[in-house]
Structure 1
Amino acid sequence: MTQTPALTRALQLARDGVAVYPLASGTKTPLKGSRGYLDATTDVATLAGWFEHVPRANLGIRLDQSGLVVIDVDRHTDQHGIVVADGIQTIRQLHEQGKTLPPDTYIERTPHGGLHYFFKTPIPISKKRQINLYPGVDVLADFVLIAPSIVDGATYQAINEVNSIAVLPDWLLEGLLPGQYRQPTTKHVAIRKTWAGRMLDDLISGTTEGNRNSYLTSLLGKLLKTGCQSATAYELLQVANERLQPPLPDKEVNQIFKSIIKRV
């Protein structure tokens, strides 16, 4: 049989011990006659049979059996299309409070412009879904669709395919398990934040849509002042742009880079 991208990904995940299951093509709906994520498996023969029967099936993974959770960052709107909870803005506010989602974990962009942060959980999460744990931020501990699934004509896409899945931050475990989780005791060491440290924080925190051009221009100037190679500064500029909602087009990013590099 022809091995579709979804089957290829399903077999890869199964080899890594992650239980997967198919959904109806282009939807979040389980296949007719199936039990959805309750049928998730790592059995290669079963997976091959499913995707031979429905070659364009979407792909879901069962999180609880794999010791994973997903932080779903989205913009929630009411019935009139008015934004009532902006998860991206919430993440920025949490970052300012010292509560940061590690950017080096595996992350996917969802078909509607949201973000799925994947984390390993050191202890089981009893509640399978927590909606609006923070405004616009949900926690999924039962199942989730994953790339290369397609919904409403758009694809789930990995932000950085080479990133491995990091451990869920302590501050999130405390929010998910109030009164049940105790953060490991560590010796507190005061660390003075340097100019470079503040610059790196700016790189991760991003800015609002109307300030993207000036933000990237300022950031590039700071990067070049560190003395790094221009190629390094360009790569970091691209990283910062990819985190913006929405990112600037590559053409505009390149114009910013060319304009600033001429002055150095």
Structure 2
Amino acid sequence: MLVNLVNYAVSYAEKGFSVIPIGQNKKPLIKFANKPPLTPDEIRKIWQKYPLANIALKTDKFFVIDVDRHSGEVDGMKSIKDLNHNEWFKDTLCERTAHDGFHFFFAKPKDMKISQNIGILPSVDLKAHENNYVVVAPSVLGEKKYQWLNSKPIRPAPAGLLELIKSKQKEIPPTKVAEIMLGMRKRTKTTGLFETIVKGFGDKGKRNDNLASFMGGLLMRNVDPYLAAKLAVIANDNTPDPLPLTEVERTVNSMIEKENRKREGVQSE
């Protein structure tokens, strides 16, 4: 049975935690990134609007070892036990998650940056980004509850655990965003098309060929022929010694007709 958790949320805030109201899908109900913690009064107002909201805490001052135990996947507790250092996970705040996993809480060290690491071990995540969060008790997902297993303070992480985290941080592959950014730094034909709009078609003797290549590149990428023609005029205007407009129109029309013939040939096959 779902209940209003506002008093618990206020209590967390009064203990110095940054509270985030979340829905049953574990998604935040407010924008919270890079914003100061909610005050008790702000929390009460939000819970009036979302009376059945669950509670999450921002991982700004602490990090969490998030152990998953979903059926059909590797048991994250086996990964923890295989470390042969059960003592690392004792004597600190811990909760059981709605899916029988575990959250082990540790204070962030002042002399070491803890980076987020999803999959630091099989079925074990390290939640540490200052704009990340973890769901906490007594939140309920469906009929499954989060439950504190102790009331111990969040203690500093043991040296051995920090060494493991440090070694794993070196192994983190580039994120998808980083891969995209790296790809954007590589020159491509599309890059050249964008630059042509600003730089123009170059010196005499190359302008017609560059215009034809420019139009062909746009049309091949399914840019609307009318818009492609307008971009060609803009690029020509940015050419140090521009082509006569009649010459631009002739080349543009020629490339559009060529592309139409090509498409008609493909459709007829």
Regarding TM over 0.5, the answer is yes
* Secondary structure class of the residue paired with 1:70: strand
TM-score normalized by structure 2? 0.55
Q: Distance in 2 between matches of 1:39 and 1:60?
A: 15
Query: What's the CA shift string for 1:146-182, capped at 9, x where partnerless?
Result: 111112321111112x2221211212222223399xx
Q: Spell out the pairing of 1:13-162 with structure 2 (5 A cutoff).
A: 13-24=12-23, 26-31=24-29, 34-36=30-32, 38=34, 41-64=37-60, 67-75=61-69, 82-83=72-73, 85-95=74-84, 98=85, 100-123=87-110, 125-127=113-115, 129-141=116-128, 142-160=132-150, 162=151
Name the CA shift for 1:88/1:120 in 2 (closer, same or farther; >3 Å): same
Q: Which moved more, 1:118-127 or 1:103-112?
A: 118-127
Q: Greater share of helix residues, 1 or 2?
A: 2
TM-score normalized by structure 1? 0.56
Name the CA shift for 1:166/1:53 in 2 (closer, same or farther; >3 Å): same
Structure having the higher Rg: 2
Alpha-carbon deviation of 1:102? Answer: 2.9
Q: Is the 8 A contact 1:21 1:37 kept in 2?
A: no
Structure 2 letter corresponding to 1:164: P
Structure 2 letter corresponding to 1:122: P
* Secondary structure class of the residue paired with 2:87: coil
Alpha-carbon deviation of 1:75? Answer: 2.7
Q: Distance in 1 between matches of 2:165 and 2:70?
A: 20
* Secondary structure class of the residue paired with 1:177: helix
Alpha-carbon deviation of 1:76? Answer: 5.2
Partner of 2:10: 11
Alpha-carbon deviation of 1:37? Answer: 5.3
Report whether the alignment pairs 1:165 with 2:154: yes
Q: Is the 8 A contact 2:91 2:152 kept in 1?
A: yes
Alpha-carbon deviation of 1:126? Answer: 4.7
Question: Aligned-residue CA RMSD in angstroms?
Answer: 2.5
Structure 2 letter corresponding to 1:145: V
Q: How many residues align?
A: 164
Name the CA shift for 1:17/1:137 in 2 (closer, same or farther; >3 Å): same
- Which consecutive unaligned segments of at least 5 residues does structure 2 have? 170-269
Alpha-carbon deviation of 1:100? Answer: 3.3
Query: What's the CA shift string for 1:19-50, capped at 9, x where partnerless?
Result: 111012x230122xx22555562411111101
- Which consecutive unaligned segments of at least 5 residues does structure 1 have? 181-264
Q: Distance in 2 between matches of 1:61 and 1:114?
A: 17
Q: Is the 8 A contact 1:94 1:100 kept in 2?
A: no
Name the CA shift for 1:58/1:143 in 2 (closer, same or farther; >3 Å): same
